[in-house]
Amino acid sequence: MKYALFLGCTVPVRTMGYELSTRAVMKKLGIELVDLKEFGCCGFPLESIDHDTYLSVATRNLAIAEEHGLPIMTMCSACNGSLLKAHMAMNDEKIKSHINDTLTPLKRHYNGSIEVKHAARVLYENIETIKEMATPLPLKIAAHYGCHYTKPSEIYEGFEDPEVPYSLEDVIRAVGAEPVQYENKKQCCGGAILGIDESVSLEMTREKLQHVKKTGADAMTLVCPFCDIMYDVNQRRIESHFDEKFGIPVLFLPQLVGLALGIPSDELGLRLNRVPVRSLLKTLGD
Amino acid sequence: MEKKEPIDMNDLDPSFKYEIASQPGGEHIMKCVQCATCSSGCPVASISDKFNPRRIIRMAILGLKERVITEDFVWYCAACYTCSERCPQDVRIPDLMSAIRNIATKEGHIHPAYKEQGRLIGEMGRLYEVTDFENQRRKKLGLPQLKEKNDEIDSIYTKTGVKKVIT
């Protein structure tokens, strides 16, 4: 299988550990990733500003993938939702022709043929291979699904019920780890309103860290750079803001899978994680 | 969001709900029966009383346009889609909030945080600036170089007219 890797804005600049581990794990699974330099913003923030602009910016990326005849793999859940929603909007011929008019001066055109898939979904689809290749990890892991990986469910065509998601926990089990259950597992990280009201946003993040802490999990795992910025990058800030200690390591799902597949921690970008993962690696005998 | 004075009927704009319904994402506003399923499961509302999706929809249907588009509460929706999955009337609240934000933007009331994001994306083609520094860092990690600038989005902005509202 071959995909065009859609980096989006946040991953390649702020969460390079996610990109490194995704590339390393996909390679190990025999999945080829192609970089298309012309890809740009997915359009997500623009949906709030002007719907036509959002659709045009998102569809531009779909058109680029179509020129190369490659399905898109995303790492950011917001990118995934944004591109998929635009792809579905293009089912309406009137909208499609209107958006293609906007793209004409760029010499781009979208016919509507591109599949968009989240990297975590690709891992889920390769779960049997992962099971075969994995050295079991004796860890308790809290899965954080976030929002746009499962919702709105209409764009994911009934893959999993967002009220009872299971795919991330299935991958956690596939690497021999134990998924822990915790209060408000499906809750949003709050990242989307960090620029609107920081204290409300950080309070949302703190709530989940408290719930995860109670379970005694060794780490959290997640599949979106925004969620990571909230739980990993901002964890220390939340600790000092609320005078509360968490110390919960946060792994991107491919980092967790990569550890089980025996990929060296450097290739998984683990030293880029903000909350130290040393004790976690010690548990694994690294 | 709380205001103690009674609503003056002369301040209402009864066409506001039709204006929202004509925007992509706003089509289902009139289906709302005010059951508050949205507000009761909203992760933002559970922390802050600045955001109450049921109330915003009620205000919009009543025609309190000025308050809905000038105050900042409509920008508090995290677009997590929890309410959207549960709404028995299929109102699609996050899309509805986007529709209202589109109207607010058109009338000069874009939230400064979104204005800045829109400006950056237009100028660079992405939300975060990529300079030699980022590319050097990526090189050290064995990651491919990124294109520093992309003019295509700016050209889309010019075509859709968004350039005027974000500069």
Q: A37 is written with which tokens?
A: 């330099």
Residues B30-53, mean pLDDT to the nearest whole number: 98
Give me the CATH number covering residue A268. 3.40.50.11810
Q: What is the pLDDT of residues B3-15, one digit of tens each?
A: 578 888 888 999 9
- The identity of residue B19, as a single letter, is E
Burial zone of B53 (CB within 10 Å; 0-12 exposed, 13-18 middle, 19+ buried): buried
Indicate if A113 and A161 belong to the same structural domain: no
Indicate if A22 and A53 belong to the same structural domain: yes
Residues B126-135, mean pLDDT to the nearest whole number: 93
Q: Give the pLDDT score at B2.
A: 59
**Among candidates B75, B77, B98, which has minimal Cα distance to A204?**
B77
Indicate if A177 and A263 belong to the same structural domain: yes
Q: Give the pLDDT score at B11.
A: 86
Indicate if A189 and A53 belong to the same structural domain: no
Give yes or no for a cis peptide into A152 (omega within 30° of 0): yes
How many whole angstroms separate alpha carbon A109 and alpha carbon A157?
25
Residues B107-121, mean pLDDT to the nearest whole number: 96
Is the predicted pLDDT of residue A165 greater than 80, yes or no?
Answer: yes
A63–chain B nearest CA distance, Å: 13
Asked if B105's CB is within 8 angstroms of A102's CB, the reply is no
Indicate if A7 and A48 belong to the same structural domain: yes
Nearest CB to A51: which of B23, B72, B78?
A: B23
Is the predicted pLDDT of residue A98 greater than 60, yes or no?
Answer: yes
Q: Give the pLDDT score at A286.
A: 62
Domain range annotation of chain B = 9-106, 112-166
Indicate if A110 and A140 belong to the same structural domain: no
E strands of chain A, at which residues? 2-6, 32-34, 72-74, 116-118, 140-144, 178-179, 219-222, 250-252
Is the predicted pLDDT of residue A64 greater than 60, yes or no?
Answer: yes
At A243, is the secondary structure helix, strand, or coil?
coil
At A74, is the secondary structure helix, strand, or coil?
strand
Is the predicted pLDDT of residue A234 greater than 80, yes or no?
Answer: yes
Q: Give the pLDDT score at B140.
A: 97
Which residue bears the tokens 């925004």? Answer: A226
Burial zone of B154 (CB within 10 Å; 0-12 exposed, 13-18 middle, 19+ buried): middle
Tell me the sheet residues that pair with A74: A6, A118
Asked if B102's CB is within 8 angstroms of A13's CB, the reply is no
Does any domain span residue A229? yes
Portion of chain A with pLDDT greater than 90, in percent: 97
Does any domain span residue A253? yes
Instruction: Among A91, A118, A145, give the residue marking a domain's end.
Output: A118
Q: Name the band, by pLDDT with cuts 50, 70 and 90, for residue B117.
A: very high
Residues in chain B: 167
Indicate if A48 and A84 belong to the same structural domain: yes
Indicate if A199 and A243 belong to the same structural domain: yes
Q: Name the band, by pLDDT with cuts 50, 70 and 90, for residue B48.
A: very high
Q: Name the band, by pLDDT with cuts 50, 70 and 90, for residue A157.
A: confident
Asked if A190's CB is within 8 angstroms of B78's CB, the reply is yes
Residues A145-174, mean pLDDT to the nearest whole number: 96
Q: Which residues of B touch A145 (CB under 8 A)?
A: none
Instruction: Among A69, A93, A118, give the residue marking a domain's end.
Output: A118
Q: What is the ipTM of this complex?
A: 0.95
Asked if A60's CB is within 8 angstroms of B156's CB, the reply is yes
Asked if B117's CB is within 8 angstroms of A204's CB, the reply is no
Q: Name the band, by pLDDT with cuts 50, 70 and 90, for residue A169.
A: very high
How many whole angstroms separate alpha carbon B17 and alpha carbon B26?
9
Q: Edge-to-edge strand order for the sheet containing A32-34? A: A32-34, A2-6, A72-74, A116-118
Does any domain span residue A198? yes
Q: What is the pLDDT of residues B70-103, one digit of tens each?
A: 999 999 999 999 999 999 999 999 999 999 999 9
Q: Are A223 and A118 in contact (CB under 8 A)?
A: yes
Residues A39-53, mean pLDDT to the nearest whole number: 97
Asked if A49's CB is within 8 angstroms of B110's CB, the reply is yes
Does any domain span residue A124? no
What is the secondary structure of A95-158 as a DSSP string?
HHHHHHHHHGGGT----S---EEEHHHHHHHTHHHHHHHPPPP--EEEEE--STTT-SGGGGTT
Does any domain span residue A123? no
Instruction: Among A118, A147, A171, give the residue marking a domain's end.
Output: A118
Nearest CB to B138: which of A16, A38, A57?
A: A16
Indicate if A28 and A98 belong to the same structural domain: yes
B152–chain A nearest CA distance, Å: 7
Residues B116-123, mean pLDDT to the nearest whole number: 96
Q: Provide the pairing of β-strand A140-144 with A219-222.
A: parallel
Asked if A105's CB is within 8 angstroms of B44's CB, the reply is no
Is the predicted pLDDT of residue B26 greater than 90, yes or no?
Answer: yes
Q: Which residues of A touch B121 (CB under 8 A)?
A: 9, 41, 45-46, 57
**Domain count within chain A:** 2
Does any domain span residue A24? yes
Indicate if A105 and A139 belong to the same structural domain: no
Q: B55 is written with which tokens?
A: 């109330």
Does any domain span residue A92? yes
Indicate if A147 and A276 belong to the same structural domain: yes
Q: Provide the pairing of β-strand A72-74 with A32-34.
A: unpaired
Give me the CATH number covering residue A23. 1.20.1050.140
Q: Give the pLDDT score at B1.
A: 54
Q: Provide the pairing of β-strand A219-222 with A250-252.
A: parallel
Instruction: Give residue A9's domain range.
Output: 2-118
* pTM (two decimals): 0.97
Q: Give the pLDDT score at B30.
A: 98
Asked if A102's CB is within 8 angstroms of B165's CB, the reply is no
Q: What is the pLDDT of residues A188-229, one digit of tens each?
A: 999 999 999 999 999 999 999 999 999 999 999 999 999 999
Is the predicted pLDDT of residue A243 greater than 60, yes or no?
Answer: yes
Indicate if A180 and A217 belong to the same structural domain: yes
Tell me the sheet residues that pair with A221: A143, A251
Closest-CA residue in chain B for A13?
A: B134
A9–chain B nearest CA distance, Å: 6
How many whole angstroms separate alpha carbon B25 and alpha carbon A54?
13
Is the predicted pLDDT of residue A153 greater than 80, yes or no?
Answer: yes
